[in-house]
């Protein structure tokens, strides 16, 4: 009996897939089809898969062409499968010519011409075509524009900067100069404008029926954030925090490990986010237009605390140091949260530097994420017995932005929050805590920080 094997994602199964499988079956007597797992697709950078693994496997099985359907889960599995199953022929589409020649050592390799005129990519684009507008700080707008090009179904349409800078060098979309024009031309808006503008811009976009992905915090108080969330729900729209960290694979996996009891009961979470690149001495005159430390870094620092310990904290204490000569502009701060069963500490600064790590302490070990933890591809679980320590590595493409855009587009297509990794309660808690940080009269006030030659740099913290 001549055995044949082929692999694929088989997302949105179409006639091109069917034809390819029929021709693969004709190469032998027994056809094995490997369907790539969701996690393996992400590792390979394939972020636009619409259907779950179970849905894709069921679709292949129901065709009745394959004699056996298996899951492809890791790099190098093809060699293992060919050896283990006694495969005689490996086959794949002709767009991979040469890619799998290394398998000729183990079996025959056949490249089949694909059916012209149809692809899963085109089907996804047709079913989830989301015209996207981008508003705000240039460095963030350009970053999200670049990452959008990797996501099928998201169509970058136009952009507006909150400065007099030009997007000419970017060359990805048309630059416009009116927010209402952005709203009128797009289905969804990415907002990276100054936090003071978020509430008004989000409300205008939602009232116009547009989905919004906004740099956190969404609003300046818990109440105004909840008001916007209620407005989005009433219109069947998506309002989401653009905290890319939540969508990085490593961060998401460490949350799952911690919540599943891998380090026992979580007792404390300490997250540090600091950077000196946005408050160079030459920029002091324009500091009022910049984001404060709490607005720039507070959301990321608070995220793991609220996602692991919850939003029902008993008390919140604040420490801050303002920039000398700019009262109200916090250059360094801490938010300390006490819970019934744990403690969280968020540290952030734009005029101070510390180890930007994340430490989650538990009764049976701890999780350590090295700096910069907010865009890591690696973390460690450490135990009292060091022989039980384990390191976890995950590929990180686009700092988590690509995954974020994929889930945002999916949620928009479905008219709800399905797939988004930050709950409304966490969004509201972030807005509320940062609002309290600004308004509180009971915080520990450190003497102002003076910028000088030792605090330098250029660029933007985020």
Lowest mean pLDDT among 68-77, 125-134, 205-214, 339-348: 125-134
Say which residue the tokens 């091109």 belong to. Answer: 16
- pLDDT for residue 360: 98
Architecture of domain 3-121: 3-Layer(aba) Sandwich (3.40)
Neighbours of 419 (CB within 10 A): 17
Q: What is the pLDDT of residue 76?
A: 83
The CATH number of the structural domain formed by 245-397+404-445 is 3.30.360.10
pLDDT at position 145, please? 92
Banded pLDDT at 413 (limits 50, 70, 90):
confident
Banded pLDDT at 306 (limits 50, 70, 90): very high
Per-residue pLDDT tens over the stretch 239-265 = 999 999 999 989 999 999 999 999 999
Are 5 and 85 in contact by the 8 Å Cβ rule? The answer is: yes
Q: Which of 394, 44, 399, 400 is nearest to 253 (CA)?
A: 394
Q: Residue 116 contacts by C-beta under 8 Å, 6 or more apart in sequence?
A: none
Which of 151-160, 166-175, 244-253, 367-376 has the weakest average pLDDT?
A: 166-175
pTM of the model: 0.76
Closest Cα partner for 406 from 14, 5, 41? 41
Mean local confidence (pLDDT), 180-189: 95
Range in 66-80, 156-170, 199-213 with the lowest mean pLDDT: 156-170
Angstrom distance (rounded) from CA 20 to CA 37: 20
- CA dist 96 and 457 (Å) reads 45
The domain limits of the chain are 3-121, 125-243, 245-397+404-445
Reference 304, options 449, 421, 150, 140; nearest CA is 421
Question: Are 286 and 341 a contacting pair, CB within 8 Å?
Answer: no
Closest CA to 53 of 78, 34, 67: 34
Q: Which two tokens stand for residue 45?
A: 């950078």
Architecture of domain 125-243: 3-Layer(aba) Sandwich (3.40)
pLDDT, averaged across the chain: 88
Residue 133 has a pLDDT of: 96
pLDDT at 455: 46
- The Cα–Cα gap between 179 and 186 comes to 11
- Mean pLDDT score, 70-99: 91
The β-bridge relationship of strands 326-338 and 390-393 is unpaired
If 0-12 CB within 10 Å is exposed, 13-18 middle and 19+ buried, where does residue 114 land? middle
- The three-point CA angle 213-162-211 to 5° equals 20
* Three-state helix/strand/coil letters over the chain: CCEEEEEECCCCCCHHHHHHHHHHHCCCCEEEEEEECHHHHHHCCCCCCCCCHHHHHHHHHHHCCCCEEEEECCCCHHHHHHHHHCCCEEEEEHHHCCCCHHHHHCCEEEEECCCCCCCHHHHHHHHCCEEEEEEECHHHHHHHHHHHCCCCCEEEEEEEECCCCCCCCCCCCEECCCHHHHHHHCCEEEEECCHHHHHHHHHHHHHCCCEEEECCCCCCCHHHHHHHHHHHHHCCCCEEECCHHHHCHHHHHHHHHHHCCECECEEEEEEEEECCCCCCHHHHHHHHHCCCHHHHHHHHHHHHHHHHHCCCCCEEEEEEEEECCEEEEEEEEEEEEECCCCEEEEEEECCCCCCCCEEEEECCEEEEECCCHHHCCEEEEECCCHHHCEEEECCCCHHHHHHHHHHHHHHHHHCCCCCCCCCHHHHHHHHHHHHHHHHCCCCEECCCECCCCCCCCCCCCC
In angstroms, how far is CA 412 from the centroid of its own chain?
A: 16
Same fold, 125-243 and 245-397+404-445: no
**Residue 110 and residue 91 in contact, taking contact as beta carbons nearer than 8 Å:** yes
More confident residue, 153 or 314: 314
Region 156-180 average pLDDT: 84
Could you give the CA distance from residue 187 to residue 278 in angstroms, rounded to a whole number?
32
């Amino acid at each position: 009996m001549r055995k044949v094997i082929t692999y694929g994602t088989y997302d949105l199964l179409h006639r091109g897939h069917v034809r390819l499988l029929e021709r693969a079956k004709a190469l032998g007597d027994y056809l094995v089809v490997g369907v790539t797992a969701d996690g393996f697709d992400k590792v390979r950078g394939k972020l636009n898969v619409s259907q779950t693994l179970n849905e894709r496997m069921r679709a292949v099985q129901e065709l009745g062409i394959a004699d056996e359907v298996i899951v492809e889960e890791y790099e190098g599995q093809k060699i293992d499968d060919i050896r283990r199953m006694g495969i005689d022929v490996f086959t794949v589409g002709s767009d991979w010519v040469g890619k799998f020649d290394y398998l000729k050592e183990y079996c025959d390799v056949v490249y089949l011409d694909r059916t012209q005129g149809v692809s899963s990519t085109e089907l996804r684009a047709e079913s989830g075509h989301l015209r996207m507008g981008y508003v705000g700080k240039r460095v963030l707008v350009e970053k999200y524009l670049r990452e959008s090009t990797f996501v099928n179904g998201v169509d970058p349409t136009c952009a507006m900067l909150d400065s007099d800078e030009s997007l000419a060098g970017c060359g990805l979309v048309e630059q416009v100069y009116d927010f209402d024009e952005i709203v009128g031309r797009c289905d969804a808006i990415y907002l990276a404008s100054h936090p003071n503008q978020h509430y008004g811009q989000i409300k205008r976009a939602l009232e116009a029926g547009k989905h919004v992905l906004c740099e956190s915090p969404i609003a300046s108080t818990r109440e105004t954030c909840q008001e916007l969330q209620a407005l989005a729900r009433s219109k069947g729209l998506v309002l989401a925090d653009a905290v890319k960290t939540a969508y990085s694979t490593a961060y998401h996996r460490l949350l799952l490990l911690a919540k599943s009891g891998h380090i026992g009961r979580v007792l404390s979470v300490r997250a540090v986010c600091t950077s000196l690149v946005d408050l160079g001495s030459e920029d002091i005159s324009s500091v009022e237009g910049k984001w404060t430390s709490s607005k720039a870094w507070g959301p990321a620092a608070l995220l793991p605390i609220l996602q692991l310990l919850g939003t029902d904290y008993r008390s919140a204490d604040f420490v801050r140091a303002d920039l000398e000569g700019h009262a109200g502009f916090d250059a360094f701060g801490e938010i300390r949260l006490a819970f019934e069963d744990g403690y969280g500490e968020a540290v952030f600064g734009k005029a101070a530097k510390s180890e930007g790590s994340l430490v989650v302490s538990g009764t049976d070990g701890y999780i350590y994420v090295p700096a910069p933890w907010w865009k890591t591809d690696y973390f460690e679980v450490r135990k009292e017995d060091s022989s039980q320590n384990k390191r976890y590595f995950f590929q990180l493409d686009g700092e988590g932005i690509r995954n974020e855009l994929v889930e945002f587009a999916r949620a928009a297509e479905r008219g709800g929050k399905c797939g988004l990794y930050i709950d409304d309660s966490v969004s509201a808690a972030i807005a509320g805590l940062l609002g309290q940080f600004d308004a509180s009269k009971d915080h520990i006030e450190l003497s102002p920080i003076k910028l000088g030659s030792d605090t330098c740099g250029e660029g933007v913290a985020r």
